[in-house]
Amino acid sequence: MARYLLRRLGSIVISLWMLATIVFLLVNVLPGNVGRKVLGPTAKEADVIAFNARLGTDKPMLEQYWVSMKRIFTFDFGESFQSAAPVTELLLPALGRSAKLALLAFIITIPISIAAGIFAARRQDTLADRVVVNVGLASSSIPEFVSASVLLALFAVKWPIGKVYANVPPGSSFFGQLEYLLLPALAMVVAYFGYIARMTRAGVISALHADYIRTATMKGLDQGTVMRRHILRNALAPTITVISVQIGYLFGGIIGVEKIFNYAGLGSTILNAVGKKDIPVLQTGVLMVGAIYMISTLLADLLIAYLNPRVRLEAD
């Protein structure tokens, strides 16, 4: 177990390093002058030179790479080009806000979609099953910004149930916050409902045909117990994997939702950094998303092993 964890953590570090390299290469492909890019074409040449000297962007590429990697691995992510504030000071609160939104989305999505998956699996090939399958397929194929803009049009403008801007005013009560976050969270629910429901359905259907379920039913257990103790324990493994993958992808999809609802989360911060060529913010933001994804995948694997001891933990 400890050895497994160590190997997984090691591979996470290697993956993050490769990710950092990919990001470094991407932001440095153009031999452009960083100071000129950031300060704009009207800035004075002297300012541009001073800017580059201060940030070290006038150094040779290899040296910049070395410095940038060294800083990442010592958790020194540098300062924002724009505001000169430490990058983490900018990104961590934004990450917190995104996490709040994502959490709400997951609290709504997971029970609904698992219930829908079980419901459909028990009525395999009936009309109800087909409705769940096809609604799931449709909802998971729509980009988040599309569902967000339609929800905004319908439920913030036409029938104003939610708010147009998702930014919660400071000092709001719990339910006050919900009012602001509900619509953007629902936009993400639409996107993730389909994957989780379809995966649950597939898992439950294959478990329903297993011998041990027949045995459990034959020995007289009631349906509820069979479902809870026998089917779900086995059927939910792929569902948990999908959920963990979704947590990573969620931060990609959340950018569109945050843009539509003007929400100051991680997505908006990264998007803003893209526009301003704020490379330290960009680099750190992307690494954060990568780290979240890798850690959530690891946690999912541990949870699956806990639920189903037959799954042995092996690195790769």
Partner 1 sequence: MSSPETNNLEGPVSADVQKKEKPITERSIARQENWRLIRRKPGFIIGAVISAIWLACGIFPNQIAPFDPLDYRVDNNQSPSWTNLFGTDRGGRDVFSRVIAGATDVLKIAPLAALLGVMGGVILGMFMGYLRGRFDTVASRIVESFLSLPVVLLGLLAVTTLGNSNWVVIGVVATLFTPVVARTVRAAVLAERELDYVTSAKLRGEPGWFIMFREILPNITGPIIVELTVRIGYAVFTVATLSFLGAGPPPPSPDWGSQVSDSYNSLISGYWWSTFFPAMAIASLVIAVNLIADSVQSVLDGQ
Chain residues in the site for partner 1 (CB under 8 A): 11, 14-16, 18-19, 22-23, 26-27, 29-30, 134, 137-138, 141-146, 149-150, 152-153, 156-158, 164, 248-249, 251-253, 255-256, 259-260, 270-271, 274-275, 277, 282, 286, 289-290, 293-294, 297
CB 277 to partner 1: min, Å: 8
How many other C-beta atoms lie within 10 A of the C-beta of residue 110? 18
Nearest distance from residue 108's CB to partner 1, in Å?
A: 21
Question: What span, in angstroms and rounded, lies between the C-alpha atoms of 282 and 276?
Answer: 10
Q: Whose Cβ is closer to partner 1: residue 114's or residue 152's? A: 152
Residue with tokens 């086995």: 234
Place of tokens 């790769």: 316
Q: How far apart are CA 254 and CA 84, in angstroms?
A: 26
Structural contact between residues 289 and 266, judged by C-beta atoms closer than 8 angstroms: yes
Residue 27 or 313 having the CB closest to partner 1: 27
Taking the complex as a whole, the smallest distance from the CB of residue 19 to partner 1 amounts, in Å, to 5
Cα of 70 vs its chain's centroid, Å:
26
What is the C-alpha to C-alpha distance for residues 306 and 237, in angstroms, rounded to an integer? 10
Q: How far is the CB of 257 from partner 1 (least distance, A)?
A: 11
Question: Judged by CB, which is closer to partner 1: 116, or 294?
Answer: 294
Residue type, 20: A
State the minimum distance, in angstroms, from the CB of residue 52 to partner 1.
17
Nearer to partner 1, 230 or 259 (CB): 259
Closer by beta carbon to partner 1, 203 or else 256: 256
Pair 119, 198: CB distance under 8 Å? no
